[in-house]
């Protein structure tokens, strides 16, 4: 049996709070899904597609988001504390009141094309 990757195919007829803890979500597709209040903690989320998803109020802590795609994603009030390897361009995502921790939060400046010393 294969690993379920394309969460757009999940048929959930009611509102459900989804929680992933200590999971490997690599290569999963959450494209365009409403994932308000989702909890993704202590996970490996390499190359996950979160484009156009609603992650408002999501808890995304202590997770490795290497090569994950965030484009037109609602990340308002999302909690990325202790997360790492995310590449989020604030120009193409909603990040108002999102929580980040240093030193990883410096990655948010990459889209500015500035030099940091």
Flag whether 113 is in a domain.
Answer: no
> What is the CATH classification number for the domain harbouring 86?
2.160.20.80
User: Which residue has tokens 């030193």?
Assistant: 103
Per-residue pLDDT tens over the stretch 32-89: 999 999 999 999 999 999 999 999 999 999 999 999 999 999 999 999 999 999 999 9
Cα separations in angstroms, 51 against 48, 69, 72, 74: 9, 6, 6, 9
Strand partners, 24: 44
Q: Place 2 in a pLDDT band, splitting at 50, 70 and 90.
A: very low
Full-model pTM: 0.84
Q: Place 9 in a pLDDT band, splitting at 50, 70 and 90.
A: low
pLDDT at 1 over 50: no
Q: Domain of residue 51: give its range.
A: 15-95
Task: Give the model's pLDDT for residue 113.
Answer: 79
What percent of the chain is predicted at pLDDT more than 90? 74
Flag whether 8 is in a domain.
Answer: no
- Token pair, residue 67, equals 């090569």
Cα 114 from Cα 4, distance rounded (Å)? 40
Number of domains in the chain: 1
Task: Give the model's pLDDT for residue 48.
Answer: 97
Flag whether 57 is in a domain.
Answer: yes
Cα 94 from Cα 72, distance rounded (Å)? 7
Name which of 22, 20, 21, 27 is nearest 5 in CA terms. Answer: 27
């Amino acid at each position: 049996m294969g690993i379920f990757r394309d969460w757009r195919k999940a048929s959930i007829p009611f509102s459900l709070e989804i929680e992933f803890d200590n999971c490997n979500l690599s290569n999963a597709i959450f494209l365009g899904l409403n994932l308000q209040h989702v909890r993704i903690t202590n996970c490996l989320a390499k190359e996950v597609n979160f484009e156009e998803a609603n992650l408002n109020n999501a808890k995304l802590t202590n997770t490795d988001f290497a090569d994950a795609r965030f484009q037109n994603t609602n990340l308002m009030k999302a909690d990325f504390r202790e997360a790492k390897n995310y590449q989020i361009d604030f120009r193409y995502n909603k990040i108002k009141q999102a929580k980040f921790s240093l030193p990883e939060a410096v990655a948010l400046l990459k889209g500015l094309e500035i030099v940091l010393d």
